[in-house]
Amino acid sequence: MTNKLLTKPSQKSPLHLSGKFQKFKLTENPFPSEPTVNKDSTDRRINGEIYEIAICQKEYEQIKSVFLQQPQSNPNHLRLGYIIDTSYIGRGNGKSAFLVNLQHNINKEYCLDISDNLNKCFAIYVTPEPGGRTKTFSLFIKTIFQAILRSKIIESCLASLRLEAINELYPHVISDIEQESDSSLVRDLNSKEWLTKRKIDNFSLSR
């Protein structure tokens, strides 16, 4: 009986195969197999990382000037914005890639760099389920909330509030953690063990 786990194919792939994309100065096909974006994928061709912002520079500048750079102190300034693309007909024309990169640019410094420290906000990417399963308002709101949870923005907000309280109540701790990266601070400031180790009363931070 032949063991299929040990049997090898009769044809072997050559070790040094000349890629058919080398004549284009490429190592592989840069285009995805499907005209959709999966921002959680590690493949740059699928997750939207391969993107030329100049293609939608006009739209990006419009979002900046109309929404992101308008002071939130203005009572007429909307706190929640929705982005909709006018070229909704057709697939593979870069709508999702534009939104993924817009989200990345906003969340990189929470819009502080874009607005010259005028506003602080965040962006989420919402993908309603196909088949109309999220067409009711309650299900759509649930999708938005789930996207907020996945973005870890709540952890960042809690860490920011705790850091502000620690700076006021436990100033000696700040000098020990000011060299930590943002991701490390968010993790530590949301850790009960970390706070206890530094003799920080978590209850006092919430007063």
Residue 186: pLDDT above 70?
Answer: yes
* pLDDT-based confidence at residue 155 (cuts at 50, 70, 90): very high
Nearest to 69 by CA among 5, 29, 112: 112
Alpha-carbon distance of 39 to 49, in angstroms, equals 9
Residue 20: count other Cβ atoms within 10 Å of its Cβ.
10
Give the pLDDT confidence of 53-106 residue by residue, as tens digits.
Answer: 788 888 889 889 988 998 888 887 777 777 766 655 566 667 788 888 899 899
Alpha-carbon distance of 55 to 36, in angstroms, equals 18
DSSP per residue over 151-164, as a string?
HTHHHHHHHHHHHH
Least confident piece of the model among 106-115, 147-156, 157-166, 173-182: 173-182
Q: Global pTM? A: 0.71
